[in-house]
Amino acid sequence: AKMSRPKFGIRDALICGEVAMMITAFALAISACLIPKWSVVTVNGNNIEVGIWEICTNGNCVDWNTSDGLGCYAWVGATAAFSIISICALFIGVVFALILLLCIKLVPQLIAGCMFYFGIWAAIACLICWIMWWVFANQDWDNCVLAAGQKLENYNISFWMQVVASVLAGIASCLACCTCCVGGSGWGPGKKKSKDDDGPYGTDNEMDEKHEYPSGNLQYPTAEA
């Protein structure tokens, strides 16, 4: 007998999209965290590249000065904290995405639901992360990175990687939500049961049609005295 190939359904396409977006968002979030290029400015011919961990000038990097208390570093520290939170949430989302891809028949609604929640948390963390930096970069900080009256409004590659990571995590979460509702691989919400799912004897309705059951009031013989 010729074996039929499994069909590539809507749910399979959604899951592949979720996995690709979550892995990409995870890679971008890690790169944004490690690469010190959130903003870049040119002062006296020198390029100053500012990251969430260090400040680099012509390849020479120094760590942030954390002694200013609630000064400008408070915004940078908050950015770094939410960057780490987003990476952790994205990592868990990637794990659930891979489980969903490899074990597509194993309670897909539950796994997709877990991926949805962690993806939403990751998207929110990524969003807060780059918003924190945007607020920091638009402030006029005296002797923080630049001189008074200068701002870090020239955003660099790390900032935009974090923005893209937040968008991808949000889209992946939406796809995970759709996976819980759309059929296409196995049977679940959105796909009706087929005859093959009811065993070799057909559905319960078919069994009822094959067998006739007496209707009405049944009279049983009584013992005569």
Over residues 26-62, the pLDDT tens digits come to 999 999 999 988 988 777 777 888 888 888 887 788 8
For 65-75, the pLDDT digits (tens) are 666 555 677 88
Q: What is the pLDDT of residue 189?
A: 38
Share of the chain above pLDDT 70, in %: 65
Look at residue 45 in the predicted model and tell me its pLDDT. Answer: 75
Residue 86 pLDDT greater than 90, yes or no: yes
How many CB atoms sit inside 10 A of residue 36's CB? Answer: 18
Mean pLDDT of 13-22: 84
What percent of the chain is predicted at pLDDT more than 90? 23
Residues, the chain: 225
| Dist. CA 16–CA 26, nearest whole Å | 15
Between 153 and 223, where is the model more confident? Answer: 153
For residues 6 and 15, give the distance between their C-alpha atoms in angstroms, rounded to a whole number: 16
For residue 181, count other CB atoms closer than 10 A to its CB. Answer: 13
Cα–Cα distances in angstroms (integers) from residue 89 to residues 17, 117, 125, 165, 199, in the given order:
18, 9, 8, 12, 41
Model confidence band, residue 14 (pLDDT cutoffs 50, 70, 90): confident
Whether the Cβ atoms of residue 65 and residue 73 lie closer than 8 Å to each other: yes
Asked if the model's pLDDT at residue 166 lies above 90, the reply is yes
Q: Which pTM value belongs to this model?
A: 0.70
Mind listing the pLDDT tens digit for each residue in 92-106? 988 888 887 777 555
Please determine, for residue 154, whether its predicted confidence score (pLDDT) is greater than 50.
yes
Contacts of 31 (CB under 8 A, 6+ apart): 158, 161
Phi and psi at 128, nearest 5°, equal -65, -35
Per-residue pLDDT for 222 more than 90? no
Model pLDDT for residues 176-203, shown as the tens digit of each residue? 888 777 644 443 333 444 444 444 444 4
| Averaged pLDDT, 206-211 | 49
> What's the rounded Cα separation, in Å, for the pair 115 and 174?
10
Task: Specify the residue for token string 């059951």.
Answer: 213
Q: What is the mean pLDDT of the chain?
A: 74
Q: What is the pLDDT of residue 117?
A: 86
Evaluate whether 174 touches 93 at the Cβ level (below 8 Å): no
Mean of the pLDDT values across residues 136-142? 72
